[in-house]
């Protein structure tokens, strides 16, 4: 089913979840790969282009995902009041970081005067006046605070999902998997 029910995620929500997972992993892999090549080399620039393209994709996808979510029931989390409160705070923070991690970098690129290319197909022009100092601060915020915070949260989220599967032995992890169908509703 395309939409969610009270107890299961529809395929659209699952598609958004796993597509987002792939592009976020892509962004982390690409930025680490770019560091393996010398400054000014074509490979380094290529990996950075890939990093920015994945990041820009995250920024577009997150709004579409939130828009879709607003018109949908959200499956109930049956892990108890404290754990489900923690899970919704965690999910809220994940959404927030999926916005501010790429947004901080897009603003940084604007203030540094660099256009951002999306896989070499579309180019986001520079609209703002250059301010190198602020751009430098945003780079530190993006690379040293926000992106690591997203990473930590993703690991906690992953551990939470595994906890459900191996310790609580419930369907929470399984119900986000692509081909799993609820036996209930
Ligand atoms: C969810 C999306 C994104 C994630 C998870 C992410 C993650 C990261 C991480 C982890 C770093 C630090 C790399 C390091 O110092 O080892 C970084 C640096 C950087 N990111 Fe992103 N980023 C994202 C989106 C973007 C976007 C949209 C842009 C460009 C518009 C961008 C441009 C940069 C730049 C220029 C750096 C500095 C690279 C350097 O120090 O040479 N990022 N990013
Ligand atoms: C880039 C990495 C990831 C991000 C940003 C992310 C983000 C999210 C968000 C925001 C939700 C809440 C959905 C909503 O309420 O609309 C969610 C749900 C979920 N995620 Fe992830 N996720 C990531 C990776 C993973 C991984 C690796 C797993 C498991 C192996 C996983 C398992 C789940 C499960 C099982 C749910 C559903 C929880 C429930 O049914 O109550 N996620 N994820």
The CA 104 to ligand 1 mean position distance, Å, reads 9
129 within domain boundaries: yes
185 within domain boundaries: no
DSSP state of 123: E
Q: How many domains does the chain have?
A: 1
Nearest to 146 by CA among 100, 91, 90: 100
**According to the model, what pLDDT value does residue 69 have?**
97
1 within domain boundaries: no
182 within domain boundaries: no
167 within domain boundaries: yes
**According to the model, what pLDDT value does residue 78 have?**
79
Nearest residue CA, atom 19 of ligand 1?
A: 143
184 within domain boundaries: no
2 within domain boundaries: no
Query: What CATH number does residue 139 fall under?
Result: 1.20.950
Determine the structural domain holding residue 133 and report its residue range: 11-176
What CA–CA distance (Å, rounded) separates 36 from 70? 41
pTM: 0.95
Contact 164, 173 (CB under 8 A): yes
Helices (H), the chain: 11-34, 42-70, 81-112, 132-140, 147-163
4 within domain boundaries: no
Nearest to 168 by CA among 176, 160, 177: 160
The CA 163 to ligand 2 mean position distance, Å, reads 13
Ligand 2 pocket, Cβ-based, cut-off 6 angstroms: 17, 20-21, 24, 69, 74-75, 77, 91, 94-95, 98, 154, 157-158, 161, 172-173, 175-176
Residue 135, ligand 1, Cβ within 6 A: no
Q: How confident is the chain (185 residues) per 10-residue block, as mean pLDDT? A: 94 98 98 98 98 98 98 89 92 98 98 97 97 98 98 97 93 92 60
- 106: number of Cβ within 10 Å: 18
Helix (H, G, I), strand (E, B) or coil at 13: helix
| Nearest atom within ligand 2 for CA of residue 176 | 35
**According to the model, what pLDDT value does residue 181 have?**
74
């Amino acid at each position: 089913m395309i939409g969610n029910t009270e107890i299961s995620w529809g395929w659209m929500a699952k598609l958004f979840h796993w597509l987002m997972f792939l592009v976020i992993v892509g962004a982390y892999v690409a930025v680490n790969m770019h560091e393996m090549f010398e400054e000014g080399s074509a490979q380094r620039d290529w990996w950075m282009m890939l990093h920015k393209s994945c990041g820009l994709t995250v920024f577009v996808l997150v709004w579409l995902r939130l828009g879709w979510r607003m018109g949908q029931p959200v499956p109930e989390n049956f892990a108890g009041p404290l754990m489900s409160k923690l899970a919704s705070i965690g999910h809220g923070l994940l959404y927030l970081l999926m916005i501010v991690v790429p947004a901080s970098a897009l603003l940084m690129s604007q203030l540094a005067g660099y256009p951002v290319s999306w896989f070499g197909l579309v180019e986001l022009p520079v609209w703002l006046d250059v301010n190198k100092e602020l751009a430098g601060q945003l780079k530190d915020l993006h690379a040293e605070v926000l992106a690591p915070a997203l990473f930590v949260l993703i690991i906690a989220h992953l551990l939470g999902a595994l906890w459900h599967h191996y310790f609580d032995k419930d369907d929470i992890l399984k119900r986000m998997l692509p081909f799993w169908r609820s036996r209930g509703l």
